[in-house]
Structure 1
């Protein structure tokens, strides 16, 4: 009996030691609470590295680690990160924080699939360093889905049309203000330089859709028409204003303004052709100069205008293109995720963002003129965009879902390659919108 009792006692001691060790292991590897009740544990962050580079991210994450020493930040980053992480999202094992940008990502798709955390109530309590509310300090407000917010817009970018100011000044080419002037300018260049004036990425047709067509839709029909085409409202794509704009695209095709090889070009190849003066106009966002900084020829001077697809009696139109931060619905460390997102949104980091990337963070009250490291083209573009006599800003409700953007983009490429008429395009786009609506039912 004594031996049995002794054996039982020893077994209990062993079990207590094992359980204590397991508890310590959990604290070391997965607990979200540190020694003093502070935020701790692993924090996984996914961010796309493209034209903006990653130097700003490295700075912010390093500062966050200093502020939250009990948090172990695990970075998932790179130009192909959206594809590399796809299986994690599909299997409901996502990273905690995601920066939604680049090919293969779609904010709207992620909301529709229930992958993002609802942030509406949490956002209302966040204050900036000056005491003002974050939700009142965005240049452009967050996208909403049935009145709810699932992401916070980090980057204020806008698509526009770029050209070489040095070339245009030297040759006296026209910087266009509307589509009629755009066509005249491209004719001048085609004759004077012997090149196809306009280039875009055929492998990524959303460059033309967002960069050229969105502003045209907004200029012609305001935010209502813009919202209708983005959400696939019945009759929007086959409406008269949209058909008229697509006729302009057809005119560009018929008069040989598109690069004849655009169908095979990815976005960096098209940008390289532009820098080499194989083309004169390209629709891209503010990331262009930074992404191509190692390939800019001597004497090249970036010029930026809102895309001139607007009619002669319409002003320039700008449709902001936001790049948001979001928290996964299935985040394993939501407290650390919220701490990081809140940490990022400061005016100090907004100024730093413009230095690192040549683009603008989506916070108001940031005086870039006092920062000598911000590039001239960004200063000029910022001044133009904020002049209501020159530019009208139109906001979209949210990004277009990939389920609609992909088939519309495929039809758009056919139109730009001359394999489809404007009437055939709007019919295809209308069908794609009907299929998209049916998929939501």
Structure 2
């Protein structure tokens, strides 16, 4: 294989790129497009970085003229599980087996963090390259906690004691994205894993009967519901957009927010210089849990794919190879203060308390890092479960009713022969 041009890119062919411009922005993609231009100066590149990327991609796929490289994630993602089953994407096997751009003797496959390829694999074939390493947990400001003498508690009982103390300071203990409950849901599920073990996540991913009605999951739901019952939420949280809730957090109106490693990048323009954002694992129900407090839910995210009908698939593969070079991964971390899934690319990148805390959390979690595949495989029911969780926190549902409604959504998917099924 030609290490300089393994996909036989035709230098003058134009390249069409549409990517998700969410919490991580799209500057890191634009940077590698500049490198592509240096290698292929005759190629015109059309770039679109879009927040509501599904509104652009879905019509283009339907019309049969998709871009050459795409990414989609977050609230406005596309249904990768269904589209992979429908043959919308090219097999990334040849890309993964191509030579790494800047690590001699390695293939692209050999330069990625464990779990990256598995996260993009559907029915045995890798169709997406999930570029970022998202780590989920509970975020706080270290400087705020230092001023008040607060310590992040390890258990929910400890959290309730701290919340009662926080209210005396005039700071709301918690906020969350009222219109996007998925990070909140991951916090809930991580609490359940500490009690019920890793099988909790496996059962949810595999659409197991009664997975959402298990004792561990219902106990976790009851634990987080206390935040609403006790009035420990920033007023108006239930109706806030994710950006409004995050603004309340960085403005010091709320002490905790369940979110992920992209938050600093997304809120950089509003972040006070002395904020010192830090990510911690979500609380556990008991110190005697079967999975330790250090366990964390993480996952490969920001999926990139080369459409099957791309006009310049070779160029799409080559741009993706530039992204997954060590230089490309380092550019991502420098731009976002978050790790990519390129092994070692973030080494030595400093300047962010959040990035440092994410590294520490991942190191401490080790083999107890949990990966949730449900959100990649079954987009629509996952979003629907987020909506049900919003109703739980608005106190419209009991914990048991919440579990029943979540399970009903999953059972409908399991019984629908038109929905492709995946297992771990």
Range of TM-score over shorter length: 0.7 to 0.9
Which of residues 381, 388, 393 in structure 2 aligns to 1:416? Answer: 393
1:21 corresponds in structure 2 to: none
Query: What CA deviation, in whole Å up to 9, does each residue of 1:260-291 have, x standing for no partner?
Result: 41222111100111122221100122221222
2:199 corresponds in structure 1 to: 224
CA apart distance, 1:110 = 3.1
CA apart distance, 1:387 = 2.4
Which runs of 5 or more structure 1 residues have no equivalent in the other structure? Answer: 1-32
2:240 corresponds in structure 1 to: 265
Change (3 A) 1:251 1:37: closer
Write the distance in 2 (CA, Å) between the matches of 1:328 and 1:56: 21
Write the distance in 2 (CA, Å) between the matches of 1:276 and 1:367: 28
Query: Number of paired residues?
Result: 402
Change (3 A) 1:412 1:62: same
Is 2:217 the counterpart of 1:245?
Answer: no
Higher Cα radius of gyration? 1
**TM-score between the two structures when normalised by the length of structure 1:** 0.84
Runs of 4+ in 1 over 6 A off after TM superposition: none
Secondary structure in structure 1 of the residue aligned to 2:139: strand
Write the distance in 1 (CA, Å) between the matches of 2:294 and 2:409: 29
Is 2:124 the counterpart of 1:124?
Answer: no
Q: Is the 8 A contact 2:294 2:365 kept in 1?
A: no
Q: Is the 8 A contact 2:15 2:68 kept in 1?
A: yes
1:108 corresponds in structure 2 to: 81
Q: Is the 8 A contact 2:192 2:220 kept in 1?
A: yes
CA RMSD between the two structures: 2.4
1:347 corresponds in structure 2 to: 326
Write the distance in 2 (CA, Å) between the matches of 1:310 and 1:61: 47
Q: Is the 8 A contact 2:53 2:77 kept in 1?
A: no
Which runs of 5 or more structure 2 residues have no equivalent in the other structure? Answer: 419-424
Write the distance in 2 (CA, Å) between the matches of 1:260 and 1:271: 13
**TM-score between the two structures when normalised by the length of structure 2:** 0.87
Q: Is the 8 A contact 1:195 1:279 kept in 2?
A: yes
2:422 corresponds in structure 1 to: none
Change (3 A) 1:65 1:276: same
1:86 corresponds in structure 2 to: 58
Q: Is the 8 A contact 1:135 1:141 kept in 2?
A: no
Change (3 A) 1:433 1:316: same
Secondary structure in structure 2 of the residue aligned to 1:160: strand
CA apart distance, 1:310 = 5.3
Q: Is the 8 A contact 1:96 1:334 kept in 2?
A: yes
Write the distance in 1 (CA, Å) between the matches of 2:263 and 2:126: 29
CA apart distance, 1:215 = 2.2
Is 2:117 the counterpart of 1:145?
Answer: no
Is 2:361 the counterpart of 1:384?
Answer: yes
Q: Is the 8 A contact 2:276 2:353 kept in 1?
A: no
CA apart distance, 1:252 = 2.4
Structure 1, 237-246 or 307-316: larger mean CA deviation: 307-316
Query: What CA deviation, in whole Å up to 9, does each residue of 1:159-209 have, x standing for no partner?
Result: 22111111211111121223222222222212x223431111111121312
Which of residues 365, 368, 387 in structure 1 aligns to 2:344? Answer: 365
1:207 corresponds in structure 2 to: 183
